[in-house]
Amino acid sequence: MSQLPAFVQVIVLLAVIITSFNIIIFVHELGHFLAARWRGLQVDRFQIWFGKPIWKKDVNGVQYGLGWLPFGGFVALPQMAPMEAIEGGEKHEKPLPPISALDKIIVAFAGPLFSMLLALAAALIVWQVGKPKDFMPATEVGYVAEKSPAEKAGLKPGDVITRINGEPVNGFAGSLESIQERIILSRGEKIVFTVERPGVEEPIELTSGFETEDSKWYQRRALREVGIAPAGPAFIGEVMPKSPAAKAGLKPGDQIVSVDGQELRSRHEFSRYLEANDWKAVTIGVRSPDGKVREVQLTPERPLQPKGRDPMIGVGWNVEKDVDVRIVKPAPLTQVVDSLEMMWVTITSVAAPNSSIGVDHLSGPVGIAKVQFQMLKTDNGWRRILAFMVLFNVNLAVLNMLPFPVLDGGHITLAILEKIAGRPVQAKPLEIVQTVCALALISLMIFVTSKDIGDGFGRGSADGQEVVFPD
């Protein structure tokens, strides 16, 4: 694909994203459709996306179509619940025969079931072809920002973080147990770090606050951070022509190991040292790819714009050295369980009053497409998309099982109540409730989509933090 013109690459990637969305929606709605046919229900329409159809075709009494609002899809089943106001259909002149509560439960449950089966199918493929691990294993602190909550709490470069709020950590980023995720998902006003410090026998507990980057009204609230970065090698990925680095003889593949005789723990620590040194010349230790170490003089340039930018030496850092991108092949059930755990953490974090995670941190179609687009531009992007299909379909299945009117879980709840009461819910009140809840759900999708778009103006990703997939 890299040989294609840039605009053609973009078109191809967008086509892949749209196709994957439609496959996910189609399979979910196919579950409802097949279950309805099995149970003998009247099927009026099978439509992908909501709103008036921009394309439609009648086949054997069923209207198949594509709506203009890119939010999900539906199978119009008038015997399940009245949804003409949202689905755009017409009421039947003659009442249709009633169906049992069991029929309603089976048809409603079939959609989430098919989504879960699609997740398992994707997980089986991932199990065979593998996916990049995308995991930062470091737990040693390599950099502490000046005047940050971490510095005020007493964290220092060289500290090894073993627990956060009493919970063990696994790596710096890339899992729910990692340092970054535990900070972001922490609750309350304080974050307690348990660290092992060189020269100190017993573990130390340090209590830190947190801060969030300022955001505009049209953006998501930034996520919690304390001002630390992991220890890791400072490998140079590229050198700009005529830059201070080029003049010093630095080359791609070189590793900066020291500055003015001090061992370097991370590239962030290097930038801070240059700034603290008032951009004066420094002596750096450089390890070449052949293992030889040499010392060179480097004079950084003071940046003019924007204020607060790192000192300029003219290099691009090789972040692949920080991230474990080995191809791993987790078992299908492990992938599904991990996705369920992530979903549970998300829901409980949004609901928790002392969490910084809110509804605005959820993503709509635009945000999800942006993440997929980033994935597809990387090496092994297709593997990442397959793994994402597992997570997405598990999320779709779980969300649809919530007992909210309009969702499949709402239909199941109503059917159970109907079975207990011995009579169906009255059609008119049910139609009003269904319509109000559907409009509320569409409003939520519009809200999170506005954040997806707003984050594009000054934000790196849908969640307010920069998402990096190593090439």
Q: Count CB atoms within 10 A of the CB of residue 146.
A: 9
* Mean pLDDT, rounded, of the chain: 87
Over residues 15-56, the pLDDT tens digits come to 888 888 889 989 999 999 999 999 999 999 999 887 889 999
196 token code pair: 């092992």
Q: Are 384 and 469 in contact (CB under 8 A)?
A: yes
The more confident residue out of 424 and 340 is 340
Per-residue pLDDT band at 91 (split at 50, 70, 90): low
pLDDT at 185 over 70: yes
- What is the per-residue pLDDT across 189-231, written as a single tens digit (0 to 9) for each? 999 999 999 999 999 999 999 999 888 888 999 999 999 999 9
Q: How far apart are CA 157 and CA 136, in angstroms?
A: 17
Question: What is the secondary structure of 117-149 as a DSSP string?
Answer: HHHHHHHHHHHHH-EE--BB---BEEEE-TTSH
Our separate counts of H helices and E strands in the chain read 12, 16
Can you give the pLDDT at residue 102?
93
Percent of the chain topping pLDDT 70 = 91
Tokens of 72: 């999900």
């609230």: which residue's tokens?
Answer: 221
pTM for this model (two decimals): 0.84
pLDDT in tens, 347-404: 999 999 999 999 999 988 888 888 888 898 888 999 999 999 999 999 999 999 999 8
Please tell me the total number of residues recorded for the chain in this structure.
471
**What is the per-residue pLDDT across 105-131, written as a single tens digit (0 to 9) for each?**
999 999 999 999 999 999 999 999 999
Q: Which pair of tokens denotes residue 404? A: 């909210």
How many C-beta atoms lie closer than 10 Å to residue 50's C-beta?
21
Average confidence (pLDDT) over 89-93: 57
User: Domains in the chain and their CATH numbers?
Assistant: 6-130+369-454 (no CATH), 141-230 (2.30.42.10), 234-319 (2.30.42.10)
Q: Convert the pLDDT of each residue in 327-351 to its tens digit.
A: 999 999 999 999 999 999 999 999 9
| Residue listed under structure tokens 């003071």 | 302
Confidence tier at 322 by pLDDT (50, 70, 90): confident
Q: What is the pLDDT of residue 329?
A: 97
Inter-residue contact 381 to 375 (CB < 8 Å):
yes
H/E element, 435: helix 427-454
Q: What's the rounded Cα separation, in Å, for the pair 425 and 422?
A: 10
Q: Which residue has the higher pLDDT, 444 or 310?
A: 444
In the prediction, which pLDDT does 85 show? Answer: 47
Coil vs helix vs strand at 194: strand
